[in-house]
Amino acid sequence: MKKEKNQSRLAFMGIGALALLALGFSMGQKTGEITPQKIQGAAEIIGLEFTPAETDSMMGRLKTQLSNLGELRKTKLENSVGPSLVFNPLPIGFIPNQQQEPLDWGLESDIELPDREADIAYMPIHDLAVLIKNKKLSSERLTQIYLDRIKTYSDTLQCLITLMENSALAKARAMDAEIASGKYRGPLHGIPYGIKDLLTVDGTKTTWGAMPYKDQTLEGTSTVVRKLDDAGGVLVGKFTLGALAMGDVWYGGVTKNPWNLKQGSSGSSAGSASAVSAGLVPYAIGTETLGSIVSPSTRNGVTGLRPTYGRVSKAGAMALSWSMDKIGPISRSSLDNAIVLSVINGADPMDPSTIPAAFNYSSKDDVKSLKIGYFKPFFERRNHPNDLAVLDLLREQGIELEEVSLDNTVDATPLIMMLMAEGAAAFDELTRMGWDDQLVAQHRNAWPNLFRAARFISAVDYVNMSRQRSLLIEEVHEVMKDYDVIVTPTFGDPQLQITNLTGHPALCLPNGFNEEGSPTSITLLSNIFDEGKLVMLGELIQNNSDWQAKRPPMFDK
């Protein structure tokens, strides 16, 4: 292990006020020595004030605590080791439905195979599945189409970290052999896909998009990838993410938006969304902590589903925030996302935060029986024509929309400090050892600075934020429980922060383009573990519009 970069790194080694005490800012004082002046300075950092007598009384205890921190740091903690405190998003008295019903996707009995390979590449999963099942298209041919497109376009988009050509073709041939023998695993049988490179796969590196880890190999394969493999999925590549799951800047460059190569793909599921948008895969796995599925899905004009916290196992995924990280699919349609979610859903003994819950969907269910609300104040404040067009479409389809407000809840903005504290803990060694200097992004709002500042969030305040989060869960549940789906602008109001903190699911759909020609989106929200209803309404929107069918011209070849 490297020695700590320099003594100033002690500034970021403590918990709350202890961090400042360890710094030794005052001139003439020995670094690491605890003095009354340092205690007063540390107290000001966290908004407290102590009398001289109180300060004197704390001296011995603070020295002991600082010594204890030194002992704690002798134990190396891998990122995969989570805290014993497990976040639970369930409101008081709420029990998810655990009765799994047969899934009815309503797939076509027959689909025509397009002549152009680009048209095949842009087909949704639910059509590709019919072609493969009917033996009109082999998994091997489909996989080769996507591999060729990845090799042609991934450098332009800077979206690929690892191409898995040999293993993908071998899996595709095996899936074709199974179909020839009469075995069919389901709609993902033989369908290629990609993953965000913070999910482990045996025999590959897992870089987390960050220079300090660019050659990192981790043992084991993540639960999500294992489930997709069992369903017949063909993994073709690991795609980029913004370093340590922020933004679209990674150690190899900036992942590009296929609609505008001068613009980044947004993040942090940057490569996953960019690849789906450019027709390099029909779907990819992303993750979201605070917008990392929703934001790149918007920027790239694709459909992203952020599942309920606890529905999908995070085993084998990089941890940024144990209480906020969520794994979900990015694809071309609501139905495609539902098909993927049905496979990756489920409790996992390797992830204690997972919650047993059924995922039910039937194409025969009547979408017009759903009770739909919309956050009217958010639409009025944002006043974007594309958002309003979605409301008009729903009304034209006979949907009655009820006005709902989310304004009278706990302020979610300060609670985001929980993410910062957990992230600083997840990458404790990165900060203490000075490896954060290797990250490309070094501005004030980049991880290196955020992780350092988070060292001064006290444990007491973290616990109290968690308590306020409990209140937020109950307040949002009171709003959501009377509706099946609530329609909201994706950005411009606090719903994105609020629902990421409460663990509610979201479906982000394309809804047109802005004046610069970049895609925009609308978001559908539901009660926890009610993703099936999101998909029902999403399907209604997408079956009666063509927003999601648009292709970036440069890649429609």
Q: Is pLDDT of 311 > 80? A: yes
Mean pLDDT over 113-138 rounds to: 98
In the chain, the percentage of residues whose pLDDT exceeds 70 is: 94
Instruction: Give span(s): CATH 3.90.1300.10, the chain.
Output: 117-410+466-555
Q: Report pLDDT for 32.
A: 66
Q: Report pLDDT for 354.
A: 98
Segment of 14-23, 53-62, 129-138 carrying the highest mean pLDDT = 129-138
Q: Report pLDDT for 96.
A: 97
Q: Is pLDDT of 551 > 60? A: yes
Q: Report pLDDT for 408.
A: 81
Q: Is pLDDT of 30 > 70? A: no
Where is average pLDDT lowest: 32-36, 118-122, 151-155, 258-262? 32-36
Mean pLDDT over 76-100 rounds to: 96
Q: Is there a contact between 508 and 293 (Cβ–Cβ < 8 Å)?
A: yes
State the average pLDDT for the chain.
93
In the chain, the percentage of residues whose pLDDT exceeds 90 is: 90
The Cα-based distances of 377 to 288, 391, 413 in angstroms read: 25, 14, 18
- CA 43 to chain centroid: 35
Q: Distance between CA 272 and CA 181 in Å, rounded?
A: 33
| Domain range 117-410+466-555, CATH class | alpha beta
Q: Report pLDDT for 492.
A: 83
Q: Say what the pTM is.
A: 0.93
**Coil, helix or strand for 217?**
strand
Where is average pLDDT lowest: 8-12, 270-274, 362-366? 8-12
Q: Report pLDDT for 17.
A: 52
Q: Report pLDDT for 508.
A: 98
Query: Tens digits of per-residue pLDDT, 159-199?
Result: 999 999 999 999 999 999 999 999 999 999 999 999 999 99
Q: Report pLDDT for 2.
A: 38
The count of other CB atoms within 10 Å of the CB of residue 107 is 17
Give me the phi and psi of 509, to 5 degrees please: -120, 145
Q: Distance between CA 510 and CA 466 in Å, rounded?
A: 34
Mean pLDDT over 364-381 rounds to: 96
Q: Is pLDDT of 106 > 60? A: yes
Q: Is pLDDT of 23 > 50? A: no
